[in-house]
Chain A
Amino acid sequence: MATAISSQRHTGSRIKTWWTILKISLEERFVYRGDFALGTLMRFLPIITQIFLWYAIFEASGKNRIEAYTANGVVAYYMLTMISRAFSSMPGLCSGITLLVRDGEIKKYLIQPIDLLGFLLITRIAHKLCYYAIALIPFAFVFYLCRGFFESGWPDVQVLCAYFLSLILGFLLGFFIEASLGLVSFWFLEVTSLIFVYNLLNFFLSGHMFPLDLLPVWASEFVSLLPFQYLAYYPAAIFLGTIPPDQIWQGLAVEACWLVIFIIIARVMLNRGIHRYSGFGG
């Protein structure tokens, strides 16, 4: 009984700690609100160029449908991948971890009774919440203007729930993949090229560049074995109904497995990395 109460108190104090970290991270994010707002708005630019490109492709092909996509369907897809990536992309996470290791700032987290990955995750949640707070109105406005592109309308509640779940899993998966990459800096102090390669693979294999179901069957099957599709394509495909409802949960289960794998990888790398850490930077 006493153990149960003490463990409850322990959990309660831990939640309070994370809550405080979240609040302080939010305060910190809002310090540079101007930069943040500009960065948020700039996110819309690349998608506009992609939409123009696809219109040109449709026009040149003389078709009104390429595989399963109409021109409107492609626009809807890109808008949804923008949402997916607002969850799964982790700007500055990998390079931030590298800096922590290289400049020795990581020491402050190693001496405090705090879990480094948990701390980074909470600060990243704060980062994202700030982003959504600022981006909500422009996103809603753009989606309202573009509502005509969503030809099949809103999905049903169950699919919508699966969609939100896939976004959250995508956020966590993106976080743990990039955290694992960042932790490579315990072995190699410079990981810029690694980030470049990852971003490149992510761009092509996540569905950010084009819908993955446009790939030839063999390539599509190969890409579906990788975790990247969950970072952009999969949530969008759920929303658009490309994935049959009975297969959605199976896909989410595979995504959850990937998440567990990357959590384990990040944990093992952190433990091993600390063991070989030399305490650089004075």
Chain B
Amino acid sequence: MPMALIELHNLQKTYRVYQKKEGLRASIKGLFKRTHKDVHAVKGIDLQVEQGEFVAFLGPNGAGKTTTLKLLSGVIHPTSGTASVMGYTPWHRENDYRRRFALVMGQKNQLWWDLPAQESFRLHQQIYGIEPQQFQNTLDELTNLLDLRELLGQPVRELSLGERMKMELTAALLHSPEVLFLDEPTIGLDVVAQHNIQQFLKYYQEKRKITILLTSHYMKDVAALCKRVVIIADGRIQYDGSLSGIIDETTNRKLVTLQFADPLTDQLMNSLKRFGTVVRHEAPRVTLGVTRDDVPAMLTAILDAHDIDDLIVEEPPLEEVIAEVFTRVSESSAVQATEDGNC
């Protein structure tokens, strides 16, 4: 069986963290005796990603998403397990590997702060050994797509956050990487900048068929870009599949919004509660969370009894569903920890 482009087997990473108690006395004690705690950031991840996939890593803060990206880009070594990206072991940090991937971190700047971005690009050309003609073509393509041409000569520190992120992406893509790791590339950006970056990534990935792993807290990024979603929580993969699959697997609720022609009396509100929970109530509209199987019967009963001006049946918002998954995982890991403690 041919190997996938990215393969992780039982990848684990444990950090040793200094535990400091509150107060001056504890600080002085800490000079002589320190207590450390093992933090299991990644607890055994198995994953295969094929060439050309655009995969989103979702998970709460501290779930192990960024640690996984750091492992895959060779920045840190794992505690145990194996990983292969394009046949390379990332943490061996071979130059050949480093020429074939890129990592963009939304919260980290890779460009020279005081110089125009074009100087950093020139440096990238040399570091990655990009032929002059190819460099110029790629730069022209990227700057046109991202509308950056006018900004190339401006010091990076004088660019807006959105412009800077576009420059970061340009720098990362100049050497035409086959694999791109994106760690929260739209963090802190306004909706227009977020949208522009999403559109660019979508176009670029479809055109070049590169493999992208993305972490983001913005569901809009994920919904716009990724067919496949991997939910990491508590250091493990909790879900791996399509975006719509998460909703099917996680929740059996639908949201039913009804706009009544009749006035919304207390009696009517009480009668609605028989069908499900009231999620929102802004007269004359009421939104109910209703069990999937009960929706037809509920609609028949309500339409028979009331005049309805408008009706919407929809899936719960993705953010809500994902939050539900995260909560479930954190509750089950808390139970697990208690059980382990009782043993």
Binding site for B on A (CB under 8 A): 13, 16-17, 20-21, 24, 27-28, 31-32, 104-105, 107-108, 110-114, 274-279, 281-282
Q: What's the nearest-Cβ distance from chain B to residue A116, in Å?
A: 11
Q: Which residues of A contact B107 (CB under 8 A)?
A: 282
Cβ contact within 8 Å between A113 and B108: no
Give the residue name and chain of the A residue nearest to B76 (CB). A279
Smallest CB-CB separation from B18: which chain A residue? A189
CA A114 – CA B109 in complex, angstroms?
17
The answer for the CA separation of A104 and B122 in the assembled complex, in Å, is 24
Residue pairs across A and B with Cβ atoms less than 8 A apart, 14 shown, are A13-B129, A20-B123, A21-B123, A24-B123, A31-B155, A32-B114, A105-B109, A107-B75, A107-B108, A108-B110, A111-B73, A111-B102, A113-B127, A282-B108
Report the minimal beta-carbon distance from B196 to chain A, rounded to whole angstroms. Answer: 23
Question: Of A17, A275, A282, which one neighbours B126 at CB under 8 angstroms?
Answer: A17
The segment out of B91-99, B281-289, B319-327 that lies at the interface is B91-99
What is the bound-complex CA distance between A146 and B176, given in angstroms?
Answer: 58
Judged by a CB distance under 8 angstroms, whether B142 is at the interface is no
Docked Cα-Cα span, A31 to B158, in Å, equals 14
Distance in Å from the Cβ of B120 to the closest Cβ of chain A? 8
Interchain CA distance A108-B15 in the complex, whole Å: 21
Q: Given that A13-B129, A277-B75 are known contacts, is A27 also in contact with B108, CB under 8 Å in the complex?
A: no
* Cβ B75 vs Cβ A20 within 8 A: no
| Contact between chains at A111 and B126 (CB < 8 Å) | no
Interface string of B70-110 (1 = CB under 8 A from A): 10011111000000000000000101001101110101111
> With the chains together, A197 CA to B183 CA distance in Å?
39
Of the residues B95, B110, B112, B115, contact of A113 by C-beta under 8 Å: B95
Q: Which residues of A contact B110 (CB under 8 A)?
A: 108
Specify which chain B residues have a CB less than 8 angstroms from the CB of A21 in the assembled complex: 123, 126
State in angstroms the CA–CA spacing of A279 and B74 once bound together: 10
Q: What is the chain B residue whose CB lies nearest that of A29?
A: B114
Shortest CB-to-CB span from B48 to chain A, Å, is 23
Beyond known contacts A13-B129, A111-B74: 13 more, CB 8 A cutoff = A16-B126, A20-B126, A21-B123, A24-B119, A28-B115, A107-B73, A107-B105, A112-B98, A113-B127, A275-B77, A277-B75, A278-B15, A279-B67
- Binary flags per residue of B330-342, CB closer than 8 Å to A gives 1, else 0: 0000000000000
Which residues on the B side are within 8 Å of A274 (C-beta)?
A: 77, 93
The answer to the question of B128 belonging to the interface, with a C-beta cut-off of 8 Å to chain A, is yes
By a beta-carbon cutoff of 8 Å, the part of chain B in contact with chain A is: 15, 66-67, 70, 73-77, 93, 95, 98-99, 101-103, 105, 107-110, 112, 114-115, 119-120, 122-123, 125-129, 155, 183
Q: Provided the pairs A27-B119, A31-B114, A105-B108 are in contact, do residues A111 and B127 lie with their beta carbons within 8 angstroms?
A: no
Docked CA distance A28–B122 (Å): 14
Q: Are A282 and B66 in contact (CB under 8 A)?
A: yes
Which residue in chain B gives the minimum CB-CB distance to A277? B76
- Shortest A278–chain B CB gap in Å is 5
Shortest distance in angstroms between B72's beta carbon and chain A's nearest beta carbon? Answer: 10
CA separation between A114 and B93, bound complex, in Å?
A: 10
> B155 contacts which chain A residues (CB < 8 A)?
31
Q: Is the CB of B115 within 8 A of A111?
A: no
Query: Ordered nearest first, which 10 A-B pairs have the shortest CB separation?
Result: A113-B95, A17-B126, A113-B98, A20-B126, A279-B70, A108-B110, A279-B76, A31-B114, A282-B107, A279-B75
Instruction: Name the contact of A114 in the complex, choosing from B114, B127, B183 (C-beta under 8 A).
Output: B127
Is the beta-carbon distance between A31 and B115 smaller than 8 angstroms?
yes
Query: Which A residues are CB-close (under 8 A) to B102?
Result: 111
Cα separation A13 to B98 with both chains bound (whole Å): 17
Chain A residues near B108: list those with CB within 8 A. Answer: 104-105, 107-108, 281-282
**Once the chains bind, are B99 and A113 in contact (CB under 8 Å)?**
yes
A113 touches B77 (CB 8 A): no
Nearest to B90 among chain A residues (CB) is A111
What residues of chain B lie closer than 8 Å to A32, measured between beta carbons? 114
B98 near A111: Cβ-Cβ < 8 Å: yes
Which A residues are CB-close (under 8 A) to B98?
111-113
A277 to B183, CA, bound (A): 19
Q: How far is the CA of A276 from the CA of B114 in the complex (A)?
A: 31
- A-chain residues with CB within 8 Å of residue B66 when the two chains form the complex: 282
CB neighbours (8 Å) of A112 from chain B are 98, 127-128
Give chain A nearest CB distance to B277 CB in angstroms. Answer: 38
Report the separation of the CA atoms of residues A28 and B120 in the bound assembly, to the nearest whole angstrom. 11
Q: Give the Cβ gap from B248 to chain A, nearest Cβ, in Å.
A: 33
Rounded to whole angstroms, the CA-CA distance of A28 and B115 in the bound complex is: 6
A274 to B126, CA, bound (A): 24
Contact of B75 among A17, A24, A111, A276 (CB under 8 A): A111
C-alpha gap A255/B74 in the complex (Å):
36
List B contacts of A281 (CB < 8 A).
108
Q: What is the bound-complex CA distance between A86 and B101, given in angstroms?
A: 40
Which B residues lie within 8 Å of A31 (CB)?
114-115, 155
B89 nearest CB across to chain A (Å): 13
Q: Are A282 and B15 in contact (CB under 8 A)?
A: no
Docked Cα-Cα span, A254 to B110, in Å, equals 40
B334 to chain A, nearest CB (A): 25
In the complex, the answer to whether A17 meets B76 with C-beta atoms within 8 Å is no
Q: Which residues of A contact B95 (CB under 8 A)?
A: 113
Closest Cβ–Cβ distance, residue A191 to chain B (whole Å) = 16
